[in-house]
Amino acid sequence: MDKPRHTPDGSMSTIVVNDSSSPDERDIEKQADASGPSSRPVPEERDVEKQADADELTTDAQLNKQLFPVTDLDRGIVGWEGQDDPNNPQNFAPNKKWGLLGLISAFTLISPLASSMFAPAVPYMAADFRETNETILSFTVSVFLLGYTFGPCLLAPLSEIYGRRVVLSSANWFFVVWQIGCALAQNIETEIICRFFAGIGGAGCITLGAGVIADLFPVEQRGKATAIWGLGPLMGPVIGPIAGGFIGQNAGWRWAFWVLLIAGGVLAAAIEVLNRETCAPVLIRWKVEKMAKETGRTDLCSAYDYQSGKEDSGPVPVEQALKLGLLRPLLLLGKSAIILLLATYMAFVYGLLYLFFTTISTVFTSHYGFSTGLSGLAYLGIGMGFVVGLAFMAFTNDRMLVKATAKNGGKFEPEMRLPLMIVFSSILPISFFWYGWTVEKHVHWIVPIIGMFPFGVAMMGVYMPIQTYVIDCYPKYAASANAALTASRSLVGALLPLAGPRMFETLGLGWGNSLLGFLALAFVPVPIFFTRYGKTIRERWPVNLEGKKA
């Protein structure tokens, strides 16, 4: 007969139990029992029959297990529906991926634009506020980068806990609102405070872009994606002085902030409407909450939080996750030697960039007689270098990675991103000697502008491999890894330029820039060290970012 039973998925199946003896056979068996012991079946035969029955049941149970295996969901673990799950950001259509990245990258132009757009208009503000202290005036510009120092350490961990979309939107609107305070400030102190908080909000797109790239793109596409996203943070400080010079001269310094308010508000609204969540752990956590509500199960757990075979298996409490998340960028800087070294080198190069910026406007107005508006055009030399360097990295970085991986037997290593840095670090010092001595000797204005071009190209060749390297090393926590880089370089970019005017006043433009060139020359061996020993350093000092015992 057929006996029904429930399977793990709740459907009915049957276990077939053989009972094939006919009524006549059963009667003969009874008669044999009545006729005496000699006609009865021997005990061994009954045992064999029972054993056969048991074997049949065992075989059926094994078959049932094969047909209805225990799934992760049966154990309460929730993940993607499969490798091709369309809800997984890695499986988004290419146009959707690049569209989301382009949306975020657009705001990465507006935010860095605010860092330098105000610079050419500072003399007009100084006249309004009757401020003559050059250090205070310089700090009014660079304090925005101080906001970039604190913002990433807060925003990156929050995005890994609550999602990229809500944190990015909040940061964007925070940036926009503080432009109103900057535009309406009635004294220098208010201006500095508003610029600082605007910098914290502006750090959102600069920080979270790395996380979005890790969310959306496989390793072999991250070089190109990082190049597109990195265009804004480097072109913004170049375009800013050009636009700010003309705005400050013709409309007044306050209009620099009104323009930022309008442009930032439009893009923030577009991101609010069109952006999608891309952080996989957050998406799965939402899925867990939805399934728990629909099924009434309280044992469900995200696959990203689950640790199989460990005593502390299960999701991390929210308080613990928040505490660990906020500490993660500091953990990377303090315990990952390779992140600390790369952050230091990037901060050094970034500091050279902003020291470069401190003299350009003054040199072209005083030495070459440019107006405030036209002096911003001098930044085009370094800006064109950025574009060329970025295009080169976009087309070569991923290709070199694929070839290096193939040569390594198909095994990918993040350090494969770094060899190009060796060539570009050698180009960095050229611009300081070229630019410094041509302006010192009052050579035609086009010559120092062209002299800035090599630095722009070289900075891209150093900046992009480091940026992509940390994404490859820590894809799940790419935002926090990028926050460590952003915070350190922004701190140097905010404070080092304050010493620029005094240094150039003491040494002159020729020897002052030559000093920077010699420093850049001394750092040329650093990328060689990273390329040769980066893997050893990374593996020698690993960092536990999960907050769970190994």
Say how far apart CA 259 and CA 107 lie, in whole Å. Answer: 14
Residue 324 is part of which domain span? 89-278+318-540
Q: How many domains does the chain have?
A: 1
Assigned domain for 133 exists: yes
Using only C-alpha atoms, what is the Rg of the chain? 33
Q: How far apart, in Å, are the Cα atoms of 169 and each of 201, 204, 273, 276, 475?
A: 10, 8, 10, 11, 22
Assigned domain for 307 exists: no
Give the pair of three-digit tokens for residue 504: 């150039």
What one-character-per-residue DSSP string does 344-402 give?
HHHHHHHHHHHHHHHHHHHHHHHTS---HHHHGGGGHHHHHHHHHHHHHHHHHHHHHHH
Give the pair of three-digit tokens for residue 283: 């998406």
Residue 527: helix, strand or coil by DSSP?
helix
Q: Which residue has the tokens 């905010």?
A: 494
Say how far apart CA 259 and CA 239 lie, in whole Å. Answer: 13
The CB density around residue 321, as the number of other CB atoms within 10 Å, is 17
Say how far apart CA 478 and CA 530 lie, in whole Å. Answer: 20
Assigned domain for 378 exists: yes
**DSSP-derived secondary structure letter, 92:** S
Say how far apart CA 510 and CA 448 lie, in whole Å. Answer: 12
Assigned domain for 522 exists: yes
Residue 405: helix, strand or coil by DSSP?
helix
Q: How far apart, in Å, are the Cα atoms of 433 and each of 43, 385, 453, 514?
A: 105, 16, 12, 5
Task: Please tell me the predicted confidence (pLDDT) of residue 62.
Answer: 55
- Its sign, for the CA torsion 265, 271, 277, 278, is negative
Beta bridge partners of 14: 4
Measured distance between the N- and C-terminal CA atoms of the chain, rounded to whole angstroms: 53
Say how far apart CA 378 and CA 343 lie, in whole Å. Answer: 29
The CB density around residue 415, as the number of other CB atoms within 10 Å, is 22
Say how far apart CA 211 and CA 281 lie, in whole Å. Answer: 12
Assigned domain for 468 exists: yes
The CB density around residue 254, as the number of other CB atoms within 10 Å, is 18
Residue 217: helix, strand or coil by DSSP?
coil
Q: 193, 178, 204, 181: which is closest to 275 by C-alpha?
A: 204
Question: Kind of pairing, strands 12-16 and 77-78?
Answer: unpaired
Q: 448, 459, 433: which is closest to 516 by C-alpha?
A: 433
Q: Which residue has the tokens 């049957």?
A: 14
User: Would you write out the chain's pLDDT as a tens digit for each of its 550 residues?
Assistant: 443 333 333 333 333 333 333 434 444 344 334 334 444 444 444 554 555 554 554 555 455 555 556 666 767 788 888 888 899 999 999 999 999 999 888 888 898 888 888 888 888 899 899 888 888 888 888 899 899 999 998 898 899 888 999 999 999 999 999 999 999 999 999 999 999 999 999 999 988 988 999 999 998 899 899 988 888 877 887 888 888 878 888 888 899 999 999 999 999 999 999 999 999 989 998 998 898 888 888 888 888 776 434 434 445 566 776 777 788 888 888 888 999 999 999 999 988 888 887 788 888 988 898 887 788 888 889 989 999 998 999 888 888 889 999 998 889 899 999 998 999 999 999 999 999 999 999 999 999 999 999 999 999 999 999 999 999 998 888 888 889 998 898 888 888 878 888 888 889 999 999 999 999 999 999 999 999 999 999 988 888 777 654 4
The answer to whether 145 and 115 have CB atoms below 8 angstroms apart is yes
Task: Please tell me the predicted confidence (pLDDT) of residue 41.
Answer: 45
Q: 2, 40, 36, 44: which is closest to 19 by C-alpha?
A: 2
Task: Please tell me the predicted confidence (pLDDT) of residue 309.
Answer: 40
Q: 397, 25, 340: which is closest to 221 by C-alpha?
A: 397
Assigned domain for 306 exists: no
**Long-range contact set of residues 446-453: C-beta below 8 Å, sequence gap at least 24:** 448/363, 448/378, 448/381, 449/378, 449/380, 449/381, 450/381, 451/381, 452/356, 452/379, 452/381, 452/382, 452/385, 453/381, 453/382, 453/384, 453/385, 453/388
Say how far apart CA 7 and CA 456 lie, in whole Å. Answer: 66
Assigned domain for 226 exists: yes
Assigned domain for 466 exists: yes
Q: Which residue has the tokens 């991101």?
A: 271
The domain that holds 214 is classified in CATH as 1.20.1250.20
Q: Give the DSSP H/E element, type plus range, for residue 77.
A: strand 77-78
**Prediction pTM value:** 0.77
